[in-house]
Amino acid sequence: MPPPPSSLPPRVLPNLVSCSRRAVTSAATAAAAAYSTAAAAGGGGGGGRPLRYAVLGAGFAGLSVAWHLLKHSPKGSRVRVDIYDESGIGGGASGVSGGLLHPFYGRVLNSGKSVWICCVARSKRMEPLGQMELAKMRPLSGEGNSLGIIRPPTSEKTADILLESSLQSCSLQVLDSDEAQCLIPGLCVPLNFAVYMPLALNINPKKYLQVALFFACQNMSDEASLSSSEQKECKLYNEHVDDLQQLAGDYDSVIICLGARASSLPELTNKLPLRTCRGVIAEFQLPSDTIETYGSQSPSILSDAWLAFQGPRTVSIGSTWQWKSENYSSSVSDDEALNAMEELLPKASAVYPGITKWKFVQARAGIRAMPPLTANGSLPLLGCLNDVIGKRSNCSFWLVGGLGARGLLFHGLAGKLTAKAVISCDENLIPPEFTCWKEP
């Protein structure tokens, strides 16, 4: 996740949240009506087949959509969600994420927070925990369990953004140099102040995707099987899908959550306003003979490069930005790794000079699907694709794309809005800020 940009105006946030709340109420009525219609046609209830949804992609977006489809399906329904991903859970850019989740856009984060709370709870076979604070969701953080994230701005422009925008949307703390260096000894504070985000998290992306989110889908299915009135299934298939029409006869809806690979589907080639950007993350460790370590309770660092610490001796640093890349491989060549270190280390050492003592271990990479910049900011692309691809069956097609470098931030909200729209067969439940990309 890059430093918080100014491309998402604060004025957009209340609109998204209010639309999301209205969608919850509207979806309940619309979903019941849609389910009754499907049941009457032989799908979703009684002795007919269950409502079947295909979700393409097992990253942040795909698993969030799957979870919300199971969670928000009408009471007493029979639902099956099949997830397709040839690389498995978190095999794409989601699994390479740095995992820094911060409340810079607090309202957007909170509006999708249920996916965090319930998935953490259900992954432990517990009941939903209600309004749990983000700070209590530590089982998903790095092994070091670092406390929050700190951001020392390195330019006047960044400082203005932090002071004018973020403090209005969430509870943050402005620290002077001495206070910041108490949290992180050796921290460099170029402008003599830093913004501390105590509720922020350093998430292990693979652990979150596999242990929390996917298991939460399975647990929800297991719990439903104990009821005689409803049935929920969720299965993962490590298969490649290259033709949407092949799925049309088997599913009521297909939701495409393939990130940058969405544009490779023949039905969507040259039809999505997405830009590809390859990012490389470098992992470092302190040599075993180094006595000095990073504080196990010190926060991670967000700057021109981010430093996500997973314990006192391990850190991931990212990320590079290679636009228009078509290299989807997660492996990194020696030359690419060297170029990444030459780019990232100066940025990291500008705020944490001690990083020069750490030793490079490996590099990982992934392709981001970047959305276009609009008057509403760089928002994900959501909505129904029937008109885009030319629907030729009773199956409906939907998109969750363009989450870019903020998949961890947006996946809860994007998954919830899309699932409700799919269940209700009503795209109007998605705020127009997310669907305006389809306008001529």
Token pair, residue 370, equals 């970047």
Which one is predicted more confidently, 83 or 311? 83
Residue 220: its pLDDT value, please?
86
Measure the CA angle with vertex 130, ends 125 and 136; round to 5°.
Answer: 80
Least confident of 44-58, 236-250, 334-348: 44-58
Burial of 220 (0-12, 13-18, 19+ CB in 10 A): buried
The domain spans of the chain are 49-93+207-272+374-438, 100-202+275-370
Percent of the chain with pLDDT over 70: 77
Q: Is the pLDDT of residue 63 over 60?
A: yes
* Segment 12-55, tens digit of pLDDT: 444 544 444 444 444 444 444 444 444 444 455 545 678 999 99
Please tell me the class of the 49-93+207-272+374-438 domain: alpha beta
What is the per-residue pLDDT for 210? 85
Name every residue whose Cβ is closer than 8 Å to that of residue 25 and which is 6 or more positions away in sequence. none
Which tokens in the block code for residue 433?
A: 């800020």
Q: Which of 94-98, 186-190, 373-377 has the lowest mean pLDDT?
A: 373-377
- Cβ of 373: how many Cβ atoms within 10 Å? 12
Residue 222: how many CB atoms within 10 A of its CB? 15
Q: Distance between CA atoms of 419 and 27, rounded to whole angstroms?
A: 10
Q: Report percent pLDDT > 90 for the chain.
A: 47
Single-letter amino acid, residue 272? L
* Per-residue model confidence as pLDDT tens digits over 365-420: 999 999 988 777 788 999 999 999 887 788 999 999 999 988 888 888 899 999 99
The answer to whether 362 touches 417, Cβ cutoff 8 Å, is no
Q: Answer yes or no: is pLDDT of 424 > 90.
A: yes
* CATH code linked to domain 100-202+275-370: 3.30.9.10
